[in-house]
Structure 1
């Protein structure tokens, strides 16, 4: 919700995978197609749990029951049906892009890794969220693919024991920005610079030669364990982040 003083609320819900038989019945055709490509039980459980959480949260915020929710997905780059899901107002035809673009339903974004699933919800505009496990970004060559030269120098200023969470924070902040703008991997991580993990998050530079620098507002999200997370909202706003732990996605309502 956007307030008269310029404050913009973003709700971040986090949970752990908690699959129960039958939950996949809530998934739509696009999600079932993606699920069919996942062969490991832990990946399937995490995917199902994440998309059930999506429906639980949207039901709470909109009053539309989980079973009645329908989604529009459209990539901002290629137009394909793999963009961020947008909840359709009942009665809106997904093919009617004018109607879809005029929707006043909340915008959402999912991220999950290991035993953490995060969902960000924003009433007022595009949002992106990302969660990273320390181990996933702790590999040789990370800096070469993920950090600008300035960021790589800043990383060396951290004590060795602090570099794993620092890497994860850098990556989570960058991914949150790219997911909020809808560009994803279209923009190389080396073409944007964010602030160092020991200072408040902000997009400092954007050097993509084809895409103009976006306006985004960043915030870190506290997540327990060896995880770092961030959320980004399109536009320059006073971002107020509300973090909610969901013990189990299976029961309804939240």
Structure 2
């Protein structure tokens, strides 16, 4: 595991085989969470708001923490922060030098570059709605914020993890706007 901290958000990353990437993500979250909320129950719950499946935003219902996960095989990247330090967070990662097929999502406009795409996904994860909200609706300001319709503003921060990855963190400072959309 490698790690860094940006604006009170702890970030960790590690390589993982695809068949255990979820377990790797949860172990990384628990490792960071144990430092931030010692003695808390670090049970992680994940339930998709669209289909009810065991995926989606990771929640630690018995700890005062927010967490987010990104996968860019073979990498797993997680972010964890205390509720008192951030109202919401989202993290996204993509392989440098590759580009997901985004043209259809942004047509007729040109799609963003890879850094822009990870910023959009990180903001949508922090918002809580993920790709249920069309990604072309996310707007950026020159001072480093992303605005998500109906979800407020998120500080966009590049994360230096590994030369083969582009990683971006979206963070809403505490008491700075709407809370993330709840996952049920």
- Shorter-chain TM-score bucket reads 0.7 to 0.9
Q: Distance in 1 between matches of 2:33 and 2:150?
A: 32
1:45 aligned onto 2:6: no
Match of 2:181 in 1: none
Match of 1:11 in 2: 10
Could you tell me how far 1:191 is from its partner in structure 2? Answer: 1.6
> Which structure shows the higher strand fraction?
2
Could you tell me how far 1:86 is from its partner in structure 2? Answer: 2.2
Match of 1:117 in 2: 76
Structure-to-structure mapping, 1:1-254, within 5 angstroms: 9-17=8-16, 42-64=17-39, 69-73=42-46, 80=52, 82-89=55-62, 105-124=64-83, 125-137=87-99, 139=101, 142-146=102-106, 149=109, 152=110, 167-194=113-140, 201-203=144-146, 206=148, 212-235=150-173
Q: Distance in 2 between matches of 1:187 and 1:9?
A: 27
**How many residues align structurally?**
167
User: CA 1:82–1:224 in structure 2 vs 1: closer, same or farther (change >3 Å)?
Assistant: closer
Deviation string 1:198-221 (CA, Å, 9 cap, x unpaired) is: x76422x55xxxx52522111111
User: CA 1:62–1:187 in structure 2 vs 1: closer, same or farther (change >3 Å)?
Assistant: same
Q: Distance in 2 between matches of 1:118 and 1:112?
A: 6
Could you tell me how far 1:83 is from its partner in structure 2? Answer: 4.0
Could you tell me how far 1:106 is from its partner in structure 2? Answer: 1.2
Structure with more relative contact order (C-alpha pairs < 8 Å, separation 6 or more): 1
Query: TM (normalized to structure 2)?
Result: 0.73
> Which structure shows the higher helix fraction?
1
RMSD: 3.3
Structure 1 residue runs without a partner (length 5+): 1-6, 18-41, 90-103, 156-165, 239-254
User: CA 1:64–1:236 in structure 2 vs 1: closer, same or farther (change >3 Å)?
Assistant: closer
